[in-house]
Structure 1
Amino acid sequence: MDGGFSKKLFMKYHNKKVVVDGMKFDSKKESQRFLELSLMQRGGYISDLQRQVKYILIPSQKIDGKVVEREVSYKADFVYKDNTTGKTVVEDVKGVKTKDYIIKRKLMLFIKGIRIKEV
């Protein structure tokens, strides 16, 4: 196996799922960020905190009513409004930046005009 590829798989799949207040998170880091954002929301710094928001980047492609290519989508870890700036923030808690993620990050900026905040 390619050393870099197997290392990425090893790192990605060793994230442990975490449950906080009945909500499942992909990693401990993501659950900790949620707790930070929740405190920020309670303090009035941010509002409208959402988790796992899906953005369709390329819709599914059909020929004669049959899907020949599935949609390409990006799922943000968190989306919220920054009450200081009034702007919506799309945030991703990153450990490893996979090639797929980098392409989707670029598509989010190009298609949706949204720059992802990486934490």
Structure 2
Amino acid sequence: MSKYRAIKDTRIINGETVTFDSRAEARRFDELHTLAKAGKIKDLTLQPRYLLVDTLRVVGHRTMPKRHYVADFRYVDGNGRTIVEDVKGMVTPVYSLKKQLFLSIYGTEIIFKEIK
């Protein structure tokens, strides 16, 4: 069990074992996978990464590494819109900041959904 009491869950996807951070995330994957098989969504992707801040080099300071936001799922809906989803049981301050940065960069081209 994690520090937020989430219990990990696994699925076999294309012959590969995938571990989800919570049962809720695994259940949401099952729902999305069913929609994909029915042709209602396409291009279902697990753990898509989005650049939030590129490497930063400041004179007199250590180089700061790139920072990414890793969502739970990305897919294209029946209307051709790209949807990014994150399944959340506990909203942390770090997540809130990353979400805000993500929306400020990608919010005009991607629809963001938070699943609770």
Q: TM-score range by the shorter chain?
A: 0.7 to 0.9
Count of aligned residue pairs for this structure pair: 108
Would you identify which runs of 4 or more consecutive aligned residues in structure 1 move more than 6 Å?
Answer: none
CA contact (8 A) 2:82 2:111 kept: no
TM-score (norm 2): 0.83
CA contact (8 A) 1:60 1:67 kept: no
In the alignment, structure 2 segments of 5+ residues that lack a partner are none
Q: Quote how far apart the aligned CAs of 1:12 are.
A: 4.3
In the alignment, structure 1 segments of 5+ residues that lack a partner are 1-9
Please tell me whether residue 82 in structure 1 is matched to residue 73 in structure 2.
no
Structure 2 CA distance for aligned equivalents of residues 115 and 70 of structure 1: 27
Q: Amino acid of the residue matched to residue 24 of structure 1?
A: T
Partner of 1:20: 11
CA contact (8 A) 1:53 1:79 kept: yes
TM-score (norm 1): 0.81
CA contact (8 A) 1:11 1:96 kept: no
Q: Amino acid of the residue matched to residue 112 of structure 2?
A: I
Structure 1 CA distance for aligned equivalents of residues 95 and 88 of structure 2: 10
Structure 2 CA distance for aligned equivalents of residues 57 and 105 of structure 1: 10
Bigger fraction of residues in helix: 1
Partner of 1:33: 28
CA contact (8 A) 1:93 1:118 kept: yes
Q: Identity across aligned pairs (percent)?
A: 39
